[in-house]
Structure 1
Protein backbone atom coordinates (compact mmCIF):
# COMPACT_ATOMS: atom_id res chain seq x y z
CA UNK A 1 0.00 0.00 0.00
CA UNK A 2 1.46 3.35 -1.00
CA UNK A 3 0.74 6.46 1.03
CA UNK A 4 0.85 9.85 -0.63
CA UNK A 5 1.75 12.83 1.52
CA UNK A 6 3.03 16.36 1.12
CA UNK A 7 4.66 16.29 4.54
CA UNK A 8 7.72 14.12 5.25
CA UNK A 9 8.32 12.52 8.60
CA UNK A 10 10.83 14.49 10.61
CA UNK A 11 13.04 13.46 13.51
CA UNK A 12 10.50 15.04 15.86
CA UNK A 13 7.71 13.04 14.22
CA UNK A 14 9.74 9.86 14.70
CA UNK A 15 10.22 10.66 18.39
CA UNK A 16 6.49 11.27 18.87
CA UNK A 17 5.68 8.04 17.05
CA UNK A 18 7.98 6.09 19.34
CA UNK A 19 6.39 7.73 22.39
CA UNK A 20 2.97 6.62 21.09
CA UNK A 21 4.29 3.09 20.57
CA UNK A 22 5.61 2.95 24.12
CA UNK A 23 2.18 3.92 25.49
CA UNK A 24 0.74 0.84 23.81
CA UNK A 25 3.56 -1.66 24.25
CA UNK A 26 3.56 -2.96 27.86
CA UNK A 27 2.58 -6.63 27.72
CA UNK A 28 -1.13 -7.43 28.01
CA UNK A 29 -2.15 -3.83 27.28
CA UNK A 30 -3.71 -4.79 23.94
CA UNK A 31 -5.55 -7.73 25.50
CA UNK A 32 -6.90 -5.60 28.35
CA UNK A 33 -8.15 -2.93 25.94
CA UNK A 34 -9.92 -5.64 23.92
CA UNK A 35 -11.40 -7.25 27.04
CA UNK A 36 -12.89 -4.02 28.43
CA UNK A 37 -14.18 -3.07 24.97
CA UNK A 38 -15.91 -6.46 24.64
CA UNK A 39 -17.20 -7.04 28.15
CA UNK A 40 -17.40 -3.50 29.56
CA UNK A 41 -18.04 -0.62 29.32
CA UNK A 42 -16.73 -0.72 32.91
CA UNK A 43 -14.81 -3.49 34.64
CA UNK A 44 -13.25 -3.84 38.06
CA UNK A 45 -9.79 -5.30 38.52
CA UNK A 46 -11.31 -8.60 39.64
CA UNK A 47 -13.56 -8.66 36.55
CA UNK A 48 -10.59 -8.19 34.21
CA UNK A 49 -8.53 -10.78 36.06
CA UNK A 50 -11.15 -13.47 35.46
CA UNK A 51 -10.41 -13.25 31.74
CA UNK A 52 -6.69 -13.89 32.28
CA UNK A 53 -6.30 -17.01 34.43
CA UNK A 54 -2.50 -16.95 34.07
CA UNK A 55 -2.28 -13.48 35.69
CA UNK A 56 -2.61 -12.57 39.34
CA UNK A 57 -5.01 -9.85 40.43
CA UNK A 58 -2.11 -7.73 41.71
CA UNK A 59 -0.44 -7.92 38.29
CA UNK A 60 -3.65 -6.89 36.52
CA UNK A 61 -4.06 -4.04 39.01
CA UNK A 62 -0.56 -2.77 38.22
CA UNK A 63 -1.13 -3.09 34.49
CA UNK A 64 -4.35 -1.07 34.74
CA UNK A 65 -2.57 1.57 36.80
CA UNK A 66 0.10 1.82 34.08
CA UNK A 67 -2.59 2.10 31.42
CA UNK A 68 -4.29 4.82 33.46
CA UNK A 69 -1.03 6.80 33.57
CA UNK A 70 -0.75 6.34 29.79
CA UNK A 71 -4.24 7.77 29.28
CA UNK A 72 -5.80 4.52 28.04
CA UNK A 73 -8.20 3.82 30.95
CA UNK A 74 -9.85 5.91 33.65
CA UNK A 75 -11.89 5.39 36.80
CA UNK A 76 -14.15 7.73 38.76
CA UNK A 77 -13.03 6.75 42.25
CA UNK A 78 -9.40 7.85 42.37
CA UNK A 79 -9.01 6.62 45.95
CA UNK A 80 -11.51 3.77 45.71
CA UNK A 81 -9.54 0.63 44.94
CA UNK A 82 -12.73 -1.20 43.95
CA UNK A 83 -13.92 1.42 41.45
CA UNK A 84 -14.29 0.06 37.90
CA UNK A 85 -12.11 1.09 34.97
CA UNK A 86 -13.42 2.21 31.60
CA UNK A 87 -11.62 2.85 28.32
CA UNK A 88 -10.60 6.42 27.54
CA UNK A 89 -11.47 8.02 24.21
CA UNK A 90 -7.86 7.35 23.14
CA UNK A 91 -8.24 3.61 23.77
CA UNK A 92 -11.65 3.47 22.09
CA UNK A 93 -10.16 4.79 18.85
CA UNK A 94 -7.23 2.36 18.63
CA UNK A 95 -8.95 0.21 15.98
CA UNK A 96 -7.08 1.64 12.95
CA UNK A 97 -3.74 1.31 14.77
CA UNK A 98 -4.39 -2.30 15.76
CA UNK A 99 -5.58 -3.19 12.25
CA UNK A 100 -2.49 -1.65 10.64
CA UNK A 101 -0.16 -3.49 13.03
CA UNK A 102 -1.94 -6.83 12.57
CA UNK A 103 -1.93 -6.49 8.77
CA UNK A 104 1.75 -5.53 8.67
CA UNK A 105 2.67 -8.47 10.89
CA UNK A 106 0.57 -10.92 8.86
CA UNK A 107 1.98 -9.72 5.53
CA UNK A 108 5.64 -9.31 6.43
CA UNK A 109 6.62 -10.82 9.77
CA UNK A 110 4.78 -13.95 10.85
CA UNK A 111 2.37 -15.80 8.61
CA UNK A 112 1.70 -18.58 11.10
CA UNK A 113 -1.80 -18.66 12.59
CA UNK A 114 -2.06 -16.76 15.87
CA UNK A 115 -4.49 -14.54 17.68
CA UNK A 116 -4.92 -11.02 16.37
CA UNK A 117 -4.01 -9.36 19.65
CA UNK A 118 -0.95 -11.57 20.15
CA UNK A 119 0.14 -10.47 16.69
CA UNK A 120 -0.44 -6.81 17.55
CA UNK A 121 1.59 -7.08 20.77
CA UNK A 122 4.44 -8.80 18.94
CA UNK A 123 4.49 -6.05 16.30
CA UNK A 124 4.51 -3.34 18.98
CA UNK A 125 7.38 -5.09 20.75
CA UNK A 126 9.44 -5.02 17.53
CA UNK A 127 8.84 -1.33 16.83
CA UNK A 128 8.85 0.48 20.19
CA UNK A 129 12.54 0.56 21.14
CA UNK A 130 14.36 3.89 21.12
CA UNK A 131 15.78 4.99 17.74
CA UNK A 132 13.99 2.25 15.79
CA UNK A 133 11.59 4.66 14.05
CA UNK A 134 14.37 7.16 13.37
CA UNK A 135 16.56 4.40 11.91
CA UNK A 136 13.72 3.35 9.61
CA UNK A 137 13.26 6.99 8.61
CA UNK A 138 16.96 7.48 7.84
CA UNK A 139 17.28 4.30 5.80
CA UNK A 140 14.10 5.11 3.90
CA UNK A 141 15.52 8.54 3.08
CA UNK A 142 19.07 7.51 2.18
CA UNK A 143 18.54 4.01 0.83
CA UNK A 144 21.53 2.51 2.63
CA UNK A 145 23.87 3.65 5.37
CA UNK A 146 26.91 2.24 7.11
CA UNK A 147 26.97 1.81 10.87
CA UNK A 148 29.19 4.85 11.47
CA UNK A 149 26.95 7.11 9.36
CA UNK A 150 23.81 5.87 11.10
CA UNK A 151 25.37 6.34 14.53
CA UNK A 152 26.37 9.89 13.62
CA UNK A 153 22.86 10.78 12.47
CA UNK A 154 21.31 9.13 15.52
CA UNK A 155 23.69 10.94 17.86
CA UNK A 156 24.64 7.62 19.47
CA UNK A 157 28.02 5.93 20.05
CA UNK A 158 28.64 3.30 17.35
CA UNK A 159 28.47 0.47 19.88
CA UNK A 160 24.97 1.54 20.96
CA UNK A 161 23.83 1.91 17.34
CA UNK A 162 25.22 -1.57 16.62
CA UNK A 163 23.11 -3.06 19.43
CA UNK A 164 20.00 -1.39 18.05
CA UNK A 165 20.73 -2.56 14.49
CA UNK A 166 21.36 -6.13 15.66
CA UNK A 167 17.96 -6.12 17.34
CA UNK A 168 16.33 -4.66 14.23
CA UNK A 169 17.94 -7.40 12.14
CA UNK A 170 16.58 -10.04 14.49
CA UNK A 171 13.15 -8.41 14.25
CA UNK A 172 13.25 -8.47 10.44
CA UNK A 173 13.34 -4.69 9.89
CA UNK A 174 16.83 -4.20 8.44
CA UNK A 175 19.49 -6.29 6.68
CA UNK A 176 23.03 -5.78 5.44
CA UNK A 177 23.77 -5.66 1.74
CA UNK A 178 26.33 -8.46 2.11
CA UNK A 179 28.42 -10.26 4.71
CA UNK A 180 31.50 -8.03 4.43
CA UNK A 181 32.63 -6.14 7.52
CA UNK A 182 31.21 -2.63 7.40
CA UNK A 183 28.64 -3.44 4.73
CA UNK A 184 25.78 -0.90 4.66
CA UNK A 185 22.37 -1.49 6.19
CA UNK A 186 19.14 -1.29 4.21
CA UNK A 187 15.48 -1.80 5.03
CA UNK A 188 13.90 -5.18 4.46
CA UNK A 189 10.53 -5.49 2.78
CA UNK A 190 8.99 -5.39 6.27
CA UNK A 191 10.82 -2.17 7.11
CA UNK A 192 9.76 -0.53 3.86
CA UNK A 193 6.13 -1.53 4.48
CA UNK A 194 5.79 0.39 7.76
CA UNK A 195 4.23 3.49 6.19
CA UNK A 196 0.60 2.53 6.97
CA UNK A 197 1.54 1.63 10.56
CA UNK A 198 3.26 4.97 11.16
CA UNK A 199 0.38 6.78 9.46
CA UNK A 200 -2.18 5.20 11.79
CA UNK A 201 -0.03 5.94 14.85
CA UNK A 202 0.55 9.57 13.87
CA UNK A 203 -3.12 10.19 13.19
CA UNK A 204 -4.14 8.58 16.49
CA UNK A 205 -1.48 10.50 18.45
CA UNK A 206 -2.33 13.81 16.79
CA UNK A 207 -6.05 13.36 17.41
CA UNK A 208 -5.66 12.80 21.12
CA UNK A 209 -2.72 15.10 21.75
CA UNK A 210 -4.65 17.88 20.04
CA UNK A 211 -7.68 17.18 22.22
CA UNK A 212 -5.71 17.54 25.45
CA UNK A 213 -5.86 20.99 27.13
CA UNK A 214 -2.61 22.88 26.94
CA UNK A 215 -1.27 24.55 30.07
CA UNK A 216 -0.26 28.16 29.35
CA UNK A 217 2.79 29.34 31.33
CA UNK A 218 2.38 32.57 33.27
CA UNK A 219 5.09 34.26 31.20
CA UNK A 220 3.19 33.44 28.01
CA UNK A 221 -0.07 34.80 29.42
CA UNK A 222 1.56 38.21 29.90
CA UNK A 223 2.49 38.45 26.19
CA UNK A 224 -1.01 38.55 24.78
CA UNK A 225 -4.68 38.38 25.54
CA UNK A 226 -6.19 35.02 26.58
CA UNK A 227 -8.29 35.01 23.43
CA UNK A 228 -5.19 35.41 21.26
CA UNK A 229 -3.44 32.57 23.09
CA UNK A 230 -6.44 30.28 22.69
CA UNK A 231 -6.76 31.07 18.96
CA UNK A 232 -3.04 30.47 18.40
CA UNK A 233 -3.10 27.16 20.27
CA UNK A 234 -6.19 26.05 18.34
CA UNK A 235 -4.52 26.89 15.01
CA UNK A 236 -1.48 24.86 15.97
CA UNK A 237 -3.63 21.91 17.05
CA UNK A 238 -5.43 21.92 13.69
CA UNK A 239 -2.15 21.51 11.78
CA UNK A 240 -2.34 18.20 9.89
CA UNK A 241 -0.27 15.29 11.13
CA UNK A 242 2.11 13.67 8.65
CA UNK A 243 0.25 10.85 6.94
CA UNK A 244 3.21 8.85 5.71
CA UNK A 245 6.87 8.31 6.11
CA UNK A 246 8.18 10.34 3.18
CA UNK A 247 6.93 12.51 0.35
CA UNK A 248 10.00 12.72 -1.89
CA UNK A 249 10.70 10.29 -4.69
CA UNK A 250 11.72 6.93 -3.26
CA UNK A 251 15.40 6.06 -3.24
CA UNK A 252 16.04 2.90 -5.26
CA UNK A 253 16.49 0.09 -2.78
CA UNK A 254 18.86 -2.79 -3.15
CA UNK A 255 16.97 -6.07 -3.04
CA UNK A 256 18.39 -8.50 -0.53
CA UNK A 257 18.10 -12.20 -1.42
CA UNK A 258 16.09 -14.06 1.19
CA UNK A 259 18.96 -16.43 1.89
CA UNK A 260 21.36 -13.56 2.55
CA UNK A 261 18.85 -11.81 4.84
CA UNK A 262 18.45 -14.94 6.92
CA UNK A 263 22.18 -15.50 7.07
CA UNK A 264 22.83 -11.90 8.10
CA UNK A 265 20.14 -11.84 10.77
CA UNK A 266 21.27 -12.75 14.28
CA UNK A 267 19.13 -15.08 16.33
CA UNK A 268 16.25 -13.23 17.94
CA UNK A 269 16.01 -13.01 21.70
CA UNK A 270 13.66 -11.18 23.96
Structure 2
Protein backbone atom coordinates (compact mmCIF):
# COMPACT_ATOMS: atom_id res chain seq x y z
CA UNK A 1 0.00 0.00 0.00
CA UNK A 2 2.99 2.33 0.36
CA UNK A 3 4.42 4.38 -2.45
CA UNK A 4 7.68 5.44 -0.82
CA UNK A 5 10.67 3.68 -2.42
CA UNK A 6 12.94 4.30 0.56
CA UNK A 7 12.38 3.21 4.17
CA UNK A 8 11.77 5.84 6.84
CA UNK A 9 14.86 7.21 8.59
CA UNK A 10 13.54 6.00 11.95
CA UNK A 11 11.79 2.67 12.34
CA UNK A 12 8.53 2.67 14.29
CA UNK A 13 8.99 -0.99 15.13
CA UNK A 14 12.46 -0.54 16.62
CA UNK A 15 11.40 1.61 19.59
CA UNK A 16 10.46 0.30 23.01
CA UNK A 17 6.71 1.01 23.08
CA UNK A 18 6.50 0.83 26.88
CA UNK A 19 9.34 3.31 27.34
CA UNK A 20 7.81 5.68 24.80
CA UNK A 21 4.41 5.54 26.45
CA UNK A 22 5.87 6.02 29.94
CA UNK A 23 7.66 9.12 28.67
CA UNK A 24 4.54 10.43 26.93
CA UNK A 25 2.59 9.98 30.17
CA UNK A 26 5.18 12.18 31.84
CA UNK A 27 5.30 14.99 29.28
CA UNK A 28 1.87 14.68 27.70
CA UNK A 29 -0.61 16.02 30.29
CA UNK A 30 -2.29 19.20 29.11
CA UNK A 31 -0.38 22.45 29.72
CA UNK A 32 2.87 20.63 30.56
CA UNK A 33 4.51 21.53 27.24
CA UNK A 34 3.13 25.07 27.31
CA UNK A 35 4.46 25.59 30.85
CA UNK A 36 7.86 24.14 29.92
CA UNK A 37 8.15 26.31 26.82
CA UNK A 38 7.12 29.39 28.80
CA UNK A 39 9.90 28.69 31.29
CA UNK A 40 12.35 27.98 28.45
CA UNK A 41 11.68 31.44 27.02
CA UNK A 42 13.09 32.92 30.24
CA UNK A 43 16.52 31.42 29.47
CA UNK A 44 17.13 30.15 33.00
CA UNK A 45 15.45 32.97 34.92
CA UNK A 46 12.96 31.57 37.46
CA UNK A 47 9.25 32.34 37.26
CA UNK A 48 6.57 32.33 39.92
CA UNK A 49 3.34 30.44 39.37
CA UNK A 50 1.33 33.61 38.78
CA UNK A 51 3.77 34.73 36.08
CA UNK A 52 3.55 31.40 34.25
CA UNK A 53 -0.25 31.44 34.53
CA UNK A 54 -0.37 34.94 33.02
CA UNK A 55 1.19 33.53 29.83
CA UNK A 56 -1.17 30.58 29.46
CA UNK A 57 -4.55 31.40 27.89
CA UNK A 58 -7.59 30.75 30.09
CA UNK A 59 -5.81 28.61 32.70
CA UNK A 60 -6.28 29.39 36.37
CA UNK A 61 -3.32 30.13 38.57
CA UNK A 62 -4.38 27.30 40.87
CA UNK A 63 -4.30 24.79 38.03
CA UNK A 64 -0.92 26.02 36.82
CA UNK A 65 0.42 25.64 40.35
CA UNK A 66 -0.72 22.01 40.43
CA UNK A 67 0.75 21.34 36.99
CA UNK A 68 4.12 22.82 37.97
CA UNK A 69 4.08 20.79 41.20
CA UNK A 70 3.59 17.62 39.15
CA UNK A 71 6.36 18.66 36.77
CA UNK A 72 8.59 19.23 39.82
CA UNK A 73 7.83 15.72 41.11
CA UNK A 74 8.65 14.34 37.64
CA UNK A 75 11.97 16.17 37.53
CA UNK A 76 11.08 18.55 34.69
CA UNK A 77 11.36 21.73 36.76
CA UNK A 78 13.29 22.71 39.84
CA UNK A 79 13.13 25.34 42.60
CA UNK A 80 15.88 27.04 44.54
CA UNK A 81 14.09 26.19 47.80
CA UNK A 82 10.87 24.54 48.94
CA UNK A 83 9.15 27.46 50.62
CA UNK A 84 5.64 28.33 49.48
CA UNK A 85 5.67 30.57 46.43
CA UNK A 86 9.27 29.84 45.43
CA UNK A 87 9.77 30.32 41.67
CA UNK A 88 10.38 27.53 39.18
CA UNK A 89 12.89 27.05 36.39
CA UNK A 90 13.46 24.18 33.97
CA UNK A 91 15.70 21.38 35.21
CA UNK A 92 18.35 19.87 32.95
CA UNK A 93 15.88 17.10 32.14
CA UNK A 94 13.25 19.68 31.23
CA UNK A 95 15.69 21.59 29.04
CA UNK A 96 16.54 18.37 27.20
CA UNK A 97 12.94 18.25 25.93
CA UNK A 98 13.94 20.74 23.23
CA UNK A 99 14.48 18.17 20.43
CA UNK A 100 11.27 16.34 21.40
CA UNK A 101 9.19 19.50 21.05
CA UNK A 102 10.96 20.41 17.83
CA UNK A 103 10.24 17.00 16.30
CA UNK A 104 6.60 17.07 17.43
CA UNK A 105 6.17 20.51 15.89
CA UNK A 106 7.76 19.44 12.60
CA UNK A 107 5.59 16.32 12.43
CA UNK A 108 2.47 18.39 13.06
CA UNK A 109 3.38 21.00 10.43
CA UNK A 110 4.09 18.34 7.83
CA UNK A 111 1.22 15.93 8.42
CA UNK A 112 -1.66 17.46 10.43
CA UNK A 113 -4.23 19.99 9.32
CA UNK A 114 -4.73 21.97 12.50
CA UNK A 115 -4.64 25.51 11.16
CA UNK A 116 -2.66 28.38 12.58
CA UNK A 117 -1.84 28.20 16.28
CA UNK A 118 0.98 29.04 18.70
CA UNK A 119 3.82 26.53 18.67
CA UNK A 120 3.14 25.53 22.28
CA UNK A 121 -0.47 24.74 21.36
CA UNK A 122 0.72 22.75 18.34
CA UNK A 123 3.03 20.63 20.50
CA UNK A 124 0.24 20.09 23.03
CA UNK A 125 -2.10 18.97 20.23
CA UNK A 126 0.48 16.51 18.91
CA UNK A 127 1.04 15.04 22.37
CA UNK A 128 -2.71 14.66 22.89
CA UNK A 129 -2.89 12.42 19.81
CA UNK A 130 -0.06 10.14 20.97
CA UNK A 131 -0.26 9.73 24.72
CA UNK A 132 -3.12 7.23 25.15
CA UNK A 133 -1.92 3.89 26.51
CA UNK A 134 -1.33 1.10 23.97
CA UNK A 135 -1.72 3.46 21.00
CA UNK A 136 1.97 2.95 20.25
CA UNK A 137 1.51 -0.82 20.15
CA UNK A 138 -1.39 -0.53 17.69
CA UNK A 139 0.64 1.75 15.43
CA UNK A 140 3.60 -0.65 15.57
CA UNK A 141 1.37 -3.58 14.57
CA UNK A 142 0.00 -1.67 11.58
CA UNK A 143 3.47 -0.49 10.58
CA UNK A 144 4.77 -4.07 10.61
CA UNK A 145 1.90 -5.75 8.79
CA UNK A 146 -0.82 -3.36 7.59
CA UNK A 147 -3.36 -3.28 6.13
CA UNK A 148 -4.94 -5.43 8.87
CA UNK A 149 -8.47 -6.16 9.94
CA UNK A 150 -9.68 -5.26 13.41
CA UNK A 151 -9.45 -8.77 14.91
CA UNK A 152 -5.89 -9.23 13.71
CA UNK A 153 -4.80 -5.88 15.16
CA UNK A 154 -6.30 -6.79 18.54
CA UNK A 155 -4.59 -10.19 18.48
CA UNK A 156 -1.18 -8.88 17.43
CA UNK A 157 -1.26 -6.01 19.97
CA UNK A 158 -2.45 -8.29 22.78
CA UNK A 159 -5.62 -6.26 23.42
CA UNK A 160 -9.17 -7.33 24.08
CA UNK A 161 -11.59 -6.50 21.31
CA UNK A 162 -13.40 -3.70 23.13
CA UNK A 163 -10.21 -1.87 24.06
CA UNK A 164 -8.73 -2.32 20.59
CA UNK A 165 -11.90 -0.92 19.02
CA UNK A 166 -11.73 2.17 21.22
CA UNK A 167 -8.10 2.77 20.36
CA UNK A 168 -8.69 2.39 16.63
CA UNK A 169 -11.63 4.79 16.71
CA UNK A 170 -9.54 7.37 18.54
CA UNK A 171 -6.50 6.91 16.29
CA UNK A 172 -8.76 7.23 13.26
CA UNK A 173 -10.36 10.41 14.61
CA UNK A 174 -6.87 11.81 15.26
CA UNK A 175 -5.77 11.11 11.69
CA UNK A 176 -3.19 8.40 12.46
CA UNK A 177 -4.96 5.37 11.00
CA UNK A 178 -7.55 4.97 8.22
CA UNK A 179 -9.64 2.26 6.66
CA UNK A 180 -8.75 1.19 3.15
CA UNK A 181 -12.38 1.74 2.13
CA UNK A 182 -15.62 2.63 3.94
CA UNK A 183 -17.08 -0.89 3.95
CA UNK A 184 -17.83 -2.58 7.25
CA UNK A 185 -14.89 -4.79 8.20
CA UNK A 186 -12.45 -3.10 5.83
CA UNK A 187 -8.83 -3.34 7.05
CA UNK A 188 -6.93 -0.51 8.68
CA UNK A 189 -3.71 1.13 7.50
CA UNK A 190 -1.48 3.90 8.77
CA UNK A 191 -2.02 7.35 7.27
CA UNK A 192 0.82 9.66 6.23
CA UNK A 193 0.89 11.06 9.77
CA UNK A 194 0.99 7.58 11.30
CA UNK A 195 3.80 6.39 9.04
CA UNK A 196 5.85 9.48 9.87
CA UNK A 197 5.89 8.80 13.63
CA UNK A 198 9.27 7.05 13.57
CA UNK A 199 11.22 10.26 14.20
CA UNK A 200 8.81 11.31 16.96
CA UNK A 201 9.04 7.99 18.78
CA UNK A 202 12.83 7.93 18.40
CA UNK A 203 13.11 11.41 19.89
CA UNK A 204 10.86 10.55 22.84
CA UNK A 205 12.68 7.27 23.49
CA UNK A 206 16.07 8.95 23.36
CA UNK A 207 14.93 11.61 25.83
CA UNK A 208 13.63 8.97 28.23
CA UNK A 209 16.76 6.83 28.18
CA UNK A 210 18.78 6.53 31.41
CA UNK A 211 21.63 8.39 29.71
CA UNK A 212 19.35 11.35 29.00
CA UNK A 213 18.11 11.41 32.59
CA UNK A 214 21.66 11.38 33.97
CA UNK A 215 22.77 14.15 31.63
CA UNK A 216 24.04 17.21 33.51
CA UNK A 217 26.08 19.23 31.07
CA UNK A 218 26.13 18.27 27.38
CA UNK A 219 23.49 19.67 25.06
CA UNK A 220 20.74 17.24 23.99
CA UNK A 221 21.27 15.50 20.67
CA UNK A 222 18.66 16.75 18.18
CA UNK A 223 16.66 14.22 16.19
CA UNK A 224 16.10 15.13 12.51
CA UNK A 225 12.44 15.74 11.73
CA UNK A 226 10.15 16.39 8.83
CA UNK A 227 10.40 19.62 6.90
CA UNK A 228 7.98 22.12 8.34
CA UNK A 229 5.12 22.80 5.99
CA UNK A 230 4.60 26.31 7.28
CA UNK A 231 7.73 27.82 8.80
CA UNK A 232 6.06 30.87 10.26
CA UNK A 233 2.82 30.45 12.17
CA UNK A 234 1.32 33.65 13.53
CA UNK A 235 -0.71 33.49 16.69
CA UNK A 236 -4.29 32.99 15.57
CA UNK A 237 -7.52 33.24 17.53
CA UNK A 238 -11.25 33.56 17.23
CA UNK A 239 -12.34 36.76 18.90
CA UNK A 240 -10.61 39.56 20.70
CA UNK A 241 -10.53 37.75 24.04
CA UNK A 242 -8.56 34.80 22.69
CA UNK A 243 -6.24 37.00 20.69
CA UNK A 244 -5.41 39.06 23.76
CA UNK A 245 -4.68 35.92 25.76
CA UNK A 246 -2.41 34.52 23.08
CA UNK A 247 -0.50 37.78 22.85
CA UNK A 248 0.29 37.37 26.55
CA UNK A 249 1.61 33.87 25.90
CA UNK A 250 5.37 33.65 25.75
CA UNK A 251 6.76 32.75 22.34
CA UNK A 252 8.83 29.59 22.25
CA UNK A 253 12.59 30.23 22.01
CA UNK A 254 14.08 29.66 18.59
CA UNK A 255 16.29 26.88 19.96
CA UNK A 256 13.21 24.69 20.39
CA UNK A 257 12.29 24.96 16.74
CA UNK A 258 15.26 24.80 14.41
CA UNK A 259 14.60 22.46 11.54
CA UNK A 260 16.38 19.83 9.50
CA UNK A 261 14.60 18.44 6.43
CA UNK A 262 13.67 14.77 6.60
CA UNK A 263 11.71 13.01 3.80
CA UNK A 264 8.69 11.07 4.99
CA UNK A 265 6.88 7.99 3.59
CA UNK A 266 3.34 8.45 2.35
CA UNK A 267 0.09 6.49 2.08
CA UNK A 268 -1.73 6.53 -1.28
CA UNK A 269 -4.22 9.39 -1.49
CA UNK A 270 -6.96 6.92 -2.42
CA UNK A 271 -6.62 5.23 0.95
CA UNK A 272 -6.94 8.31 3.10
CA UNK A 273 -9.59 9.89 0.86
CA UNK A 274 -11.88 6.89 1.18
CA UNK A 275 -11.46 6.58 4.93
CA UNK A 276 -14.02 8.30 7.10
CA UNK A 277 -13.73 8.25 10.92
CA UNK A 278 -17.48 8.42 11.31
CA UNK A 279 -17.88 5.09 9.47
CA UNK A 280 -15.46 3.15 11.72
CA UNK A 281 -16.94 0.13 13.45
Give the superposition deviation at 1:254: 6.7
Matched, 1:175 2:178: yes
Corresponding residue for residue 54 of structure 1: 58
Q: Which has the higher relative contact order, 1 or 2, with Cα contacts under 8 A spaced 6 or more apart?
A: 2
Are residues 185 and 74 of structure 1, via their aligned partners in 2, closer, same or farther at CA, if it must alter by over 3 Å?
Answer: same
Q: 1:265 is matched with which residue: 241, 253, 277?
A: 277
Are the structure 2 counterparts of residues 143 and 257 from structure 1 closer, same or farther at C-alpha, using a change threshold of 3 Å? Answer: closer
Task: Measure how far apart 1:208 and its partner are.
Answer: 5.1
1:96–1:112 distance in 2 versus 1, CA, 3 Å: same
- Residue 163 of structure 1: aligned partner: 166
Q: How many residues align?
A: 226
Unaligned stretches of 5+ in structure 2?
1-6, 216-223, 226-265
State the match for 1:124 in structure 2: 127
TM-score, scaled relative to structure 1: 0.75
Aligned Cα root-mean-square deviation (Å)? 2.8
Q: Secondary structure at the match of 1:74?
A: strand
Offset of 1:158 from its aligned partner? 0.5
2: distance between equivalents of 1:175 and 1:124? 19
1:198 aligns with 2:210: no
* Regions of 4+ moved over 3 Å: 207-210, 252-258
Q: Report the CA distance shift for 1:156/1:38 in structure 2 as closer, same or farther (over 3 A).
A: same
Equivalent residues in 2 for 1:79-118, closer than 5 Å: 80-110=83-113, 112-118=115-121
Residues 44-81 of structure 1, C-alpha deviation per residue, up to 9 Å, x if partnerless?
Answer: 21222232362222111101011112221122323x11
Bigger radius of gyration? 1
- Measured against aligned partners, the alpha-carbon deviations of 1:200-249 in whole angstroms (never above 9, x if no partner) come to 1111111555528xxxxxxxxxxxxxxxxxxxxxxxxxxxxxx99xxxxx
Is 1:3 aligned with 2:6?
Answer: no
Q: Does 1:63 align with 2:77?
A: no
